[in-house]
């Protein structure tokens, strides 16, 4: 159970940072505790180059499996920047670094990874909230950054 649960209350920045903490630790079961059972996670299209289709994950189990697969080849680190929260919407600007530690071919909705070549981006994420839980997550890619500016070391 998340601390933001309860009707009529917005998630605080501190509560969201706890969610980011679990994400960065790869504790995806704890991350999924923030979701409704029918969560959808919608990813942008064409942000990492041509032929990268939009995709949608449905349910906590699909989310967990997707991120377990992703983190088998890359370390992902989120940093929260701007944050706005109401009882039914939450907006977060997330600076994101991907640090591949294995080469991996492109897959559905994902670019190819080359070990040692970080990919850095800023994404805007809109969360639809229901009783303090995330019901729908929409991720919009805003900007790629020079890989030489990486802050985090794997």
User: Has residue 136 been placed in a domain?
Assistant: yes
pLDDT at residue 92 is higher than 90: yes
User: pLDDT at position 142, please?
Assistant: 87
CB contact at 8 A, 141 and 109? no
Q: Is residue 110 part of a domain?
A: yes
Contact 121, 76 (CB under 8 A): no
Q: Considering the domain boundaries, does residue 153 fall inside one? A: no
Residue 111 lies in a domain: yes
Closest CA relative to residue 73, chosen from 117, 19, 121: 117
Per DSSP, the three-state class of 28 is: helix
Distance (Å, rounded) from C-alpha 35 to C-alpha 145?
30
Is residue 1 assigned to a domain? no
Helices and strands in the chain: count of H runs, count of E runs: 3, 6
20 inside domain: yes
Residue 81 inside a domain? The answer is: yes
pLDDT digits (tens, 9 = 90+) for 22-77: 999 999 999 999 999 999 999 876 655 555 667 899 999 999 999 999 899 999 99
User: What pLDDT, on the 0 to 100 scale, is given for residue 71?
Assistant: 92
Residue 11 has pLDDT above 80, yes or no: yes
Q: Provide, rounded to the nearest whole percent, the portion of the chain with pLDDT above 70.
A: 87
Q: pTM of the prediction?
A: 0.88
How confident is residue 4, by pLDDT bands cut at 50, 70 and 90? Answer: low
For residue 119, the enclosing domain spans 13-46+54-147
| pLDDT for residue 46 | 60
**Ranges 55-64, 109-118, 129-138: which has the least confidence:** 109-118
The verdict on residue 5 lying in a domain is no
pLDDT of residue 6: 57
Q: Encoding tokens for residue 67?
A: 């991120």
Quote the distance between the C-alpha of residue 88 and its chain's center.
19
Q: Provide the number of structural domains found in the chain.
A: 1
CATH number at residue 143: 3.10.450.50
């Amino acid at each position: 159970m998340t601390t933001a649960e309860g009707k009529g209350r917005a998630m605080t920045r501190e509560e969201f940072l706890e969610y980011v903490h679990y994400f960065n630790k790869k504790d995806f079961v704890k991350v999924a505790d923030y979701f409704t059972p029918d969560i959808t996670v919608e990813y942008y299209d064409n942000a990492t180059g041509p032929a990268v289709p939009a995709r949608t994950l449905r349910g906590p189990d699909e989310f967990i499996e997707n991120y377990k697969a992703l983190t088998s080849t890359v370390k992902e680190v989120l940093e929260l920047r701007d944050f706005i929260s109401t009882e039914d919407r939450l907006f977060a600007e997330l600076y994101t670094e991907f640090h591949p530690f294995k080469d991996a071919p492109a897959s559905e909705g994902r670019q190819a990874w080359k070990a040692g070549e970080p990919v850095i981006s800023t994404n805007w994420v809109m969360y639809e909230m229901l009783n303090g839980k995330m019901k729908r997550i929409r991720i919009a890619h805003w900007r790629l950054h020079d890989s030489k500016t990486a802050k985090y070391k794997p």
